[in-house]
């Protein structure tokens, strides 16, 4: 196997360790392809909520945790920003545990001098207008689709086919899901602009992508139960979305590339998923 590709920063969120939907093997495969100087774990890394009902921690997930701890020991700076599913860890903010720094939020400086707000993103839920009954129904449907996703990919593995996300494909066709994502993105962009920052990086909504508005950049690194994507900062400071194979599937937009205010970058992540 070739030497891992050096990257300045890697952003990973929504791994949901402790559940059957966690794609630990694919994330471990990515970590064999890249060698980050700094790794942000942007929330919902461990699903403490799901583990109250049933904890699932198979060998692949245990190996992933061990790999992350080895990264920390080898000199990679790891910063854990808890999300809503691992919110209990927020009481540890400001501490280091096994060389992993735990913080509520961060401002990250890129190699090209930009300042990006880093948070999980669940704080923007109050800005997204959706009736409680719709949220509950959506969560139930999501769990059902994830179960179908497991069976679908079990069959694909038997046929020697790569991972493919049924859940992501269905969400792309849902108008309600698209409206939810758009409102979330607007809230995150507004917060970064209000703080005088150049952009925002988060997770939470399981929808990787970029959006540019009024000189502010929104980045979502995706998740590791559906899309299996991460956000990577190259040594020159440019941001790219990569998949579990380490392949670039989307690049950040140039702010002067003609994007209108609030216009989203074409859904390269979706295109990559459809072609798998």
Q: From first to last of its 276 residues, what are the pLDDT tens digits of the chain?
A: 578 899 999 999 999 999 998 999 999 999 999 999 999 999 999 999 999 999 999 999 999 999 999 999 999 999 999 999 999 999 999 999 999 999 999 999 999 999 999 999 999 987 654 444 344 434 555 666 766 666 676 777 777 877 766 666 666 665 566 778 889 999 999 999 999 999 999 999 989 999 999 999 999 999 999 889 999 999 999 999 999 999 999 999 986 443 443 444 444 444 444 333
What's the confidence (pLDDT) of residue 161?
75
Spatial distance between the Cα atoms of 25 and 244, rounded to a whole number of angstroms: 9
With 0-12 / 13-18 / 19 or more C-beta atoms within 10 angstroms meaning exposed / middle / buried, residue 103 is: middle
What's the confidence (pLDDT) of residue 247?
94
What's the confidence (pLDDT) of residue 174?
57
What's the confidence (pLDDT) of residue 84?
93
264 Cβ contact list (under 8 Å, min separation 6): 185, 209, 210, 211
Spatial distance between the Cα atoms of 205 and 13, rounded to a whole number of angstroms: 10
Residue 189 bridge partners (DSSP): none
What's the confidence (pLDDT) of residue 262?
42
Instruction: Quickly list DSSP for 40-51.
Output: EE-S-SB-HHHH
HSE-CB for 32 with a 13 A CA cutoff:
12
H runs (alpha helix) in the chain: 24-33, 48-53, 59-73, 132-158, 166-172, 175-194, 268-275
What's the confidence (pLDDT) of residue 264?
47
| Cβ count near 102 (within 10 Å) | 19
Residue 139 structure tokens: 């969560």
Residue 76 structure tokens: 């990679």
SS3 track for 131-168: CHHHHHHHHHHHHHHHHHHHHHHHHHHHCCCCCCCHHH
What's the confidence (pLDDT) of residue 258?
39
What's the confidence (pLDDT) of residue 46?
97
What's the confidence (pLDDT) of residue 126?
73
Instruction: Quickly list DSSP for 72-96.
Output: HHTT-EEEE---STTGGGGGGTT-E
pTM listed for this prediction: 0.81
């Amino acid at each position: 196997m070739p030497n891992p590709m050096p990257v300045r920063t890697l952003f990973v969120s929504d791994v949901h360790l402790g559940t059957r939907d966690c794609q630990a093997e694919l994330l471990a495969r990515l970590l064999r392809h890249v060698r980050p100087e700094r790794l942000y774990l942007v929330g919902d890394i461990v699903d403490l909520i799901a583990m109250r009902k049933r904890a699932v921690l198979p060998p692949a997930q245990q190996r992933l945790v061990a790999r992350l701890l080895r990264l920390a020991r080898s000199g990679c700076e790891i910063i854990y920003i808890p999300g809503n599913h691992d919110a209990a860890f927020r009481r540890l903010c400001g501490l280091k545990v096994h060389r992993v720094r735990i913080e509520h939020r961060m401002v990250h400086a890129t190699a090209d001098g930009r300042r990006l707000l880093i948070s999980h993103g669940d704080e923007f839920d109050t800005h997204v207008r959706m009736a409680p009954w719709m949220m509950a129904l959506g969560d139930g449907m999501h769990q059902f689709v994830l179960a179908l996703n497991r069976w679908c990919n079990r069959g694909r593995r038997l046929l020697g086919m790569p991972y493919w996300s049924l859940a992501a494909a269905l969400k792309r066709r849902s108008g309600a899901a698209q409206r939810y994502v758009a409102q979330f993105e607007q809230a995150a962009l507004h917060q970064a602009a209000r703080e005088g920052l150049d952009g925002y990086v988060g997770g939470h909504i399981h929808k990787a992508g970029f959006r540019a508005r009024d000189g502010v950049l929104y980045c979502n690194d995706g998740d590791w139960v559906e899309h299996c994507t991460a956000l990577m900062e190259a040594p020159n400071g440019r941001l790219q979305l990569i998949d579990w194979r380490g392949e670039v599937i989307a690049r950040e937009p140039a702010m002067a590339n003609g994007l209108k205010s609030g216009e989203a970058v074409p859904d390269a992540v979706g295109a990559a998923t459809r072609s798998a």
